[in-house]
Structure 1
Amino acid sequence: MLWQSIAPVVDLVFPPRCPICGDAIAVQNGLCSACWSGMVVPGEPACALCRRPFSSDIEHGAICAPCLAEPPRHDGIFAATLYNDPSRKLVLALKHGGKIAMAGMLAGQMAARVPHVGPGWLVVPVPLHRWRLWQRGYNQAVELGRCVARERDARLIVDALERHKRTPSLGGLGRKARERALSGAITVNPRRKDMLRGAQVLLVDDVLTSGATSNACVSALKRAGAKAVAISCYARVLDEGLPG
């Protein structure tokens, strides 16, 4: 492959560095051992519906309290990591630091968490409002989705969802306030409705915090007739899942 042939030259001009701490590493798009050990990968046992890790041994098929209180419309959340300091630095570098080349490394970890996704699936990125897209120059969810789709041999549909209004930061808002802020903000592109009807969809984003945005996306996709909508994110905010 072309990349393999020029990799030694790239490494000579741009010596591989850990994107978190800057230490020298063996290959491009990797992490040093110290930073990698700081990542938290969600494991088992986990909720059968949302994949929220349980803190103790619980029988297979158990459902967490939030899902019991309000059954989700999605068909599973598959996070590559839990949101902590190392994963936050990677997300910020991709999202606000303009380091789009990092999308491949992050998406590789995401793709490994969704082995059930493959040919016949549609990969749909969470949309940005056009003004935010214009300001940033790219949608990080699209860059991640492009790489995940390639890894899983699925089909990327960049414009399946549309964001019609800018929403304020949802941090600190209650559930009802988040729902009001997102009401009518995200809809399905009319030109993609036929494609989505009966489809299995993997919704892709960089971070899943409260789930309000992804829930709005899932609801729009399900209303359009999607058969199943699973969620793939790089980092999921679950403080109770972190060590200590």
Structure 2
Amino acid sequence: MPVIRTVIFDLPLRVVGGLRDAVFPPGCAHCHVRTGRHGALCPSCWSELRLIERPFCEVLGTPFQRDPGAGMVSAEAIANPPAFDRLRSVAVHDGIARDLVHALKYRDRTDLAPMMAGWMVRAGEEALSSCDCVVSVPLHRSRLFSRMFNQSAELARHVARLSGRRFEPQALVRRKRTSQQVGLTANARELNVRGAFIVPEQLSPAVFGRRIVLVDDVYTTGSTVSSATRALKKAGAADVTVLTFARALSGPI
């Protein structure tokens, strides 16, 4: 057995990759049709992904139907300024984007995280280039025990790796077990997560005065990331950018 292991480890990476592809042919991460490489979508699925591109609100990342000019902010961001400094997302939370999020979150498809994180790095390029660290929205320990992994932490870990930034997985803790947000009204969601997060005292130096990218899988009403941002700002964070894979939108884009 040691001889076999030595032979395998001495093989060039392209040969090992070829052997893997022969046993597990690369397929679309959504529909599983054959593709040229692993960790990708086929052209058909890619064309159905509703990417969020400029022009959009510089604060909330909400797409504009017409280009109002550089640096414009939406009426919503002016009327109700968020707790965070800006929001960036890859795609609208419907169709294929929603399927990918659900597969990662509920079907243990952690193999999707590197691909999704790669797109998130592109969407949050400006914030990541100037941030000090990447933080994920945490699960309560009881939920983490039952689910066995945190999808937001998986995304954040790969976002940090791909962008060359430090990942601080313990910088934010969920101290209150909250109810599932799905099905709750916007007000109920906000009450559900109020005071749910805290920065541990021993981790405060990693947050104080820092520019932080806060990673979550989906942005819906913003109650969860807003509560998390308040905890980070209370601990002295200088700037918080929320970066998600998907973003729920009520109107057309």
**Larger CA deviation: 1-10 vs 116-125:** 1-10
Output the CA distance in 1 between the equivalents of 2:241 and 2:131. Answer: 14
For 1:170, the equivalent position in structure 2 comes to 181
1:110 maps onto 2:120 in alignment: yes
Which amino acid in the other structure matches residue 111 of structure 1? V
| Deviation of 1:21 (Å) | 1.2
Moved over 6 A (4+): none
Output the CA distance in 2 between the equivalents of 1:206 and 1:2. Answer: 36
* TM norm structure 2: 0.90
| Deviation of 1:14 (Å) | 0.8
For 1:81, the equivalent position in structure 2 comes to 91
Which of residues 159, 162, 169 in structure 1 aligns to 2:170? 159
Output the CA distance in 2 between the equivalents of 1:190 and 1:211. Answer: 25
Indicate the SS of the match to 1:123: strand
5 and 140 in structure 1: CA distance in 2 versus 1, 3 angstrom threshold: farther
More helix by share: 2
Give the RMSD, CA atoms, in angstroms: 1.7
Output the CA distance in 1 between the equivalents of 2:24 and 2:165. Answer: 32
For 1:210, the equivalent position in structure 2 comes to 221
86 and 70 in structure 1: CA distance in 2 versus 1, 3 angstrom threshold: same
Largest Rg, 1 or 2: 2
Output the CA distance in 1 between the equivalents of 2:37 and 2:216. Answer: 26
In the alignment, is the contact (CA less than 8 A) between 2:26 and 2:37 conserved in 1? yes
Q: How many residues were matched structurally? A: 242
Which amino acid in the other structure matches residue 70 of structure 1? N
In the alignment, is the contact (CA less than 8 A) between 2:131 and 2:213 conserved in 1? no
| Deviation of 1:9 (Å) | 1.2
Which amino acid in the other structure matches residue 100 of structure 1? T
Output the CA distance in 1 between the equivalents of 2:216 and 2:238. Answer: 20
In the alignment, is the contact (CA less than 8 A) between 1:123 and 1:201 conserved in 2? yes
Output the CA distance in 1 between the equivalents of 2:71 and 2:222. Answer: 22
Which amino acid in the other structure matches residue 78 of structure 1? R
Output the CA distance in 2 between the equivalents of 1:171 and 1:100. Answer: 21
The percent of aligned pairs where both chains have the same amino acid is 36
